[in-house]
Structure 1
């Protein structure tokens, strides 16, 4: 028996394989957030319009979310390692193209190509890691490291971007990907094994098209309304997007191998987990983007200073990710899950104390409090979603949990970023569509600049307030719907016996 246990435990090659996959995972996560501090520099360099700036930020996340489950099925059929290699090459090519883009349209196109490559990396990477570790405890540890790396990548992205932009041009935030992609391509064939399943099912091409087109049409409608106001074209586009998504949902219910198994949402616990994964990233991405502009364009801090202001929150988030399992063992999963939502909601509310004249310490306090919730959420969402469904559907549940993070990251900027943009357009001095465009206009009077800054801060407060309200609502739903875990039941029993 001892020999078998020893044989099951991972060797050095497995841990090196994990490390090389985690490098790609970190890249995918960082590229979802690395532009938050870079947007003022990009706006000055290639002058995108309001809606183009929003597309530059979130087309990556939408492409990743749209194709995540699709490429999970493709990898099962044709091989995870093969798809991982192809995806990393596509990701690298997109990074080089993005770094040297000279127009907003070019940057949007290459960001979309990066998203296409990134969509292959997460599901294939997780499957390969699971196959590297045969010991159950080590496999759980490796998957936990995978989740923590993904979460840390989101947080490190803006900070890394700030450091690079302090010394180099904005294209450097993309070129940093190339050495890691080259490193992966050199060592992956040696350290990793091919993984595929014997009965993966077929990929429904129509479902892929419906989901991608539906999401993009609906988001385009929201962005168009934010940048230019409501119009007939904008309304028709939105209706077509919603109708396409409805067709997609209806089709999934009739397929033997659906891209998204919506039957999983019949379980309330699973639904809460997926909603939390989405809303967490909605709040985080919107707050990161808006506060990045606030620190630089309103308070006047340099890129590096703005990046350093985010460090305390990053440290807290990392600690929360690592310590989440210890907290769950002591207080129970339900308590930790609900607490994560309330920590995020309260942390965002603190941002409402920011003003045009000051607020960097308010920002730091906000990120520290909210990061406790972010860390717990990143650690608990996938585990809760998978535990809520039968074992044979665990793969679908895990893929949906990953997709919820990527979709939330894109939706945060699209929906809440657009809401802030609408407020700026309605309350601002009507010089340009965004604060940075306005401030770049020559010959502005001091009063016009003050009005533009105040309009932006008001829009930021409205968007952050909406995000906080959503988190509070979801927290109360989780408090009602999630079942109690063993530690919570034990505490209740002890309390009853004491009485």
Structure 2
């Protein structure tokens, strides 16, 4: 990658980026930090199976349902102000969650953290367009931003494993506090306020319909995947779809829409938003399942299981940082296609893992998939910010981040439910999950072996399903984006 000489004044911008990366890392980590901590949380708070899913999913659901609203609110009323408010709430929610004494209070504080996270992500990404007006510098900064976001998801279980081997489960959330404190001290000094000029008022009906529609739809999908069809859940789903449809129609009729759906007329942008969703869905589900696989099937300690995730996290981070150089050579469409191919191959490498061993396959799979994950996170963020003028970057970034967070939340609900169904069909039928089966007293060793084999069967099915979906999307990307790069990467998504 060609080195760009550092100009006067840019040092402040890079320090500003460093400050922004703190909350970005936390928001990403907190999407995955509880994966390895759930056995400890279960032992301490005794949540039901449904409460356990909400402890894991409630955070992502809150972030995903509010990103669009807060992306536009930051554009209209000031991104720095929203970042400071969101960081303070995130810190308070982290303290409350770490000290929770019941499943209900833990879920409530995790939702509060999700609301705060929804204020942070789009504004943090959008502010890079202001800090780095030069497109090449901006691409470098976004690569670092994406690497931090991706690394946060990847190292969340690693950090959790190390803390859990020494402290109580709440420590995995309490570590957010010092990072938030540093951000609140330095952000006012290094970040300037940016808001759209003459953009009009926020349409309250659009905010309410987008947030409620997304939440109702996600809730319905989650519960139908986990527990099957019911009239109440169906009503939630229909309500959500109707609200989202009404929201979409309203955006075309009002003067100041929350979402510019005209962006989807650009095929690279459209494929990128889908790319924001699917990799996080596959990653969150396989990270959760492989964490259980390493501990409950192979019998590893939480600390050892966390260390095995380090190679994949490092590869993912390097790939995200290096993506701008790749895009400069091959273009955004080719990078998107490469991302799907890498993830598909990595997921397929989980198939040889068995109940009697598979550590090597796990490490290799996460490393290969890490290349695809890193590319996808970086190129999607770059496309989102480059798609619109700087003062509207928050709303465009929110679309990409919404895809990420919906993928993270629904990945566990959908892919995790597939694994749960296969466990019930193939397991010893003594309990609905592997963890509950292993906790039953007086179980014969042969029955435990059957339970572990049934769990591995579900893990393989999830890996295969994710690989096939990524391969399919890669094929679609090849067809849709063919010859889109003829005029060079810079011409694909010139700001409008």
- Shifted more, 230-239 versus 29-38: the winner is 230-239
Task: Give CA-to-partner distance per residue, 1:440-466, whole Å, 9 cap, x none.
Answer: 233333233223222222222222221
Match of 2:101 in 1: 102
Match of 2:333 in 1: 334
Q: Tell me, what secondary structure is at the counterpart of 1:167? A: coil
Structure 2 portions without partners, runs of 5+: 489-496
User: Do the aligned residues in 1 keep the contact of 2:75 with 2:392 (CA within 8 Å)?
Assistant: no
- Shifted more, 322-331 versus 94-103: the winner is 322-331
Match of 1:322 in 2: 321
User: Do the aligned residues in 1 keep the contact of 2:75 with 2:393 (CA within 8 Å)?
Assistant: no
Match of 1:213 in 2: 212
Q: 1:355 to 1:87 in 2, by over 3 A?
A: same
Work out the CA distance in 2 between the residues paired with 1:261 and 1:398.
12
1:34 to partner: Cα distance: 1.1
Work out the CA distance in 2 between the residues paired with 1:447 and 1:72.
53
Match of 1:189 in 2: 188
User: Do the aligned residues in 1 keep the contact of 2:129 with 2:393 (CA within 8 Å)?
Assistant: no
User: Do the aligned residues in 2 keep the contact of 1:52 with 1:104 (CA within 8 Å)?
Assistant: yes
User: Do the aligned residues in 2 keep the contact of 1:67 with 1:116 (CA within 8 Å)?
Assistant: yes
Work out the CA distance in 2 between the residues paired with 1:261 and 1:210.
16
Match of 2:240 in 1: 241
1:434 to partner: Cα distance: 2.1
User: Do the aligned residues in 2 keep the contact of 1:49 with 1:433 (CA within 8 Å)?
Assistant: no
What are the residue-to-residue correspondences of 1:257-268 with 2, within 5 Å?
257-268=256-267
Q: Tell me, what secondary structure is at the counterpart of 1:260? A: coil
Match of 2:361 in 1: 362
Match of 1:496 in 2: none
Work out the CA distance in 1 between the residues paired with 2:125 and 2:9.
16
Match of 2:35 in 1: 36
Work out the CA distance in 1 between the residues paired with 2:456 and 2:464.
12
What are the residue-to-residue correspondences of 1:281-296 with 2, within 5 Å?
281-296=280-295
Work out the CA distance in 2 between the residues paired with 1:196 and 1:8.
25
Work out the CA distance in 2 between the residues paired with 1:235 and 1:221.
7
Match of 2:469 in 1: 470
Q: 1:395 to 1:20 in 2, by over 3 A?
A: closer
1:136 to partner: Cα distance: 5.0
Task: Give CA-to-partner distance per residue, 1:381-423, whole Å, 9 cap, x none.
Answer: 2334555678997654333122211221112112111222222
Structure 1 portions without partners, runs of 5+: 490-499
Work out the CA distance in 2 between the residues paired with 1:325 and 1:76.
26
User: Do the aligned residues in 2 keep the contact of 1:72 with 1:120 (CA within 8 Å)?
Assistant: yes
1:374 to partner: Cα distance: 1.0
User: Do the aligned residues in 1 keep the contact of 2:29 with 2:154 (CA within 8 Å)?
Assistant: yes
**TM-score (ref. length: structure 2):** 0.90
Match of 1:382 in 2: 381
1:347 to partner: Cα distance: 0.8
- Shifted more, 97-106 versus 175-184: the winner is 97-106
Match of 1:124 in 2: 123
Match of 1:200 in 2: 199
1:252 to partner: Cα distance: 2.7
Q: 1:303 to 1:230 in 2, by over 3 A?
A: same
Task: Give CA-to-partner distance per residue, 1:228-256, whole Å, 9 cap, x none.
Answer: 44333333333333333333333333332
Match of 2:413 in 1: 414
User: Do the aligned residues in 1 keep the contact of 2:122 with 2:398 (CA within 8 Å)?
Assistant: yes
1:182 to partner: Cα distance: 1.1
What are the residue-to-residue correspondences of 1:134-153 with 2, within 5 Å?
134-135=133-134, 137-153=136-152
Q: Tell me, what secondary structure is at the counterpart of 1:196? A: coil
Q: 1:138 to 1:325 in 2, by over 3 A?
A: closer
Q: 1:209 to 1:365 in 2, by over 3 A?
A: same
- Shifted more, 188-197 versus 265-274: the winner is 188-197
1:348 to partner: Cα distance: 0.4
Aligned residues: 486
Match of 2:72 in 1: 73
Match of 1:271 in 2: 270
1:40 to partner: Cα distance: 2.1
User: Do the aligned residues in 2 keep the contact of 1:220 with 1:237 (CA within 8 Å)?
Assistant: yes
1:12 to partner: Cα distance: 4.1
